[in-house]
Amino acid sequence: DTEVTQTPKHLVMGMTNKKSLKCEQHMGHRAMYWYKQKAKKPPELMFVYSYEKLSINESVPSRFSPECPNSSLLNLHLHALQPEDSALYLCASSQLDRPNTEAFFGQGTRLTVV
């Protein structure tokens, strides 16, 4: 089973709203990632969690707040977003006991900020 599940699939939110994106995997992976992808561009890394601890933050604005409650779950809390934050948000996971291992992605959440 190489499944990473993201919810919701689509989200429309206003600039004053607070919402959360959720990601779940049951592959026993101890690394989890958030990527942002604008149209016709490659995914850009936002955050990496290793053993449920934040290990990489790519200077992401504080209106994006990641959380890793346990080894299977990853959340991205959104607050006071801007229209330019509209994008596809991808979650991924990978093993940590093998170096340079592949990451498996979810189907993404298409976020529109109005």
Residue 73 found at the interface with other proteins (CB under 8 A): no
Closest approach, Cβ 55 to other proteins, in A, equals 5
Closest approach, Cβ 94 to other proteins, in A, equals 6
Residue 57 found at the interface with other proteins (CB under 8 A): no
Q: Are 12 and 114 in contact (CB under 8 A)?
A: yes
Q: How far apart are CA 24 and CA 81, in angstroms?
A: 23
Give CA angle at 53 (91, 83), nearest 5°: 45
Among 12, 15, 96, 114, binds other proteins (CB under 8 A): 96
Give CA angle at 7 (5, 13), nearest 5°: 155
Q: Which is nearer to other proteins, 49 or 64 (CB)?
A: 49
The closest of 18, 39, 109, 27 to 72, measured between CA atoms, is 27
Residue 108 found at the interface with other proteins (CB under 8 A): yes
Residue 101 found at the interface with other proteins (CB under 8 A): yes
Q: Which is nearer to other proteins, 63 or 110 (CB)?
A: 110
